[in-house]
Amino acid sequence: MEYKVPDDLLYIKDHDWAKVEGDVATFGITDYAQSALSDIVYVELPEVGQTVEKGTSYGTVEAVKAVADLIAPLSGEVIEVNEALASDPSILNKDPYGEGWIVKVKLSDPDEAEELMNAEEYRKYLEEIA
């Protein structure tokens, strides 16, 4: 199966993505993740002001058949959450890279981004695990 993997994003093996713009990053889940979860029914979002640490959970996504942790690709402070997901979590299924963004984070260490996979590396990783 072919999954969407936008070239302008960075990825982690937990199937979360980050879009870095200066010292702010937007996080979300990948097309692969939403497909594996199937019908997403609930998203537990962090609070604005909460600190997230790279590689740790900052919330959960609940689907009909599973619950998955949201794993922070980078560290920083949550400055905005996508409130639309609270009333319509299925946005994550329909548009995981657009309307389905989850949080915006002010990065505490922008250099962490150098450790993430680019789109090509993430595509290779998907081929390995598929």
Please give the average per-residue pLDDT across 7-30, as a whole number: 98
In the block, residue with structure tokens 């980078």: 74
Predicted confidence band of residue 50 (pLDDT cuts 50, 70, 90): very high
Which pLDDT score is estimated for 130? 80
* Cβ–Cβ under 8 Å, residues 43 and 85: yes
The span from the CA of 101 to the CA of 24, in Å, is: 13
The span from the CA of 56 to the CA of 70, in Å, is: 8
Which pLDDT score is estimated for 60? 98
The three-class DSSP label of residue 39 is: coil
Predicted confidence band of residue 127 (pLDDT cuts 50, 70, 90): very high
Residue 65 pLDDT > 90: no
> Where does the chain show beta strands of DSSP type E?
10-11, 16-21, 24-29, 40-44, 51-52, 57-63, 67-71, 76-81, 103-107
Provide the residue type at 4 as one letter: K
Please give the average per-residue pLDDT across 3-32, as a whole number: 98
Domains and CATH numbers, the chain: 10-123 (2.40.50.100)
**Burial environment of residue 32 by CB neighbours within 10 A (0 to 12, 13 to 18, 19 or more):** buried
Please give the average per-residue pLDDT across 89-113, as a whole number: 98
Which pLDDT score is estimated for 119? 98
Residue 17 pLDDT > 90: yes
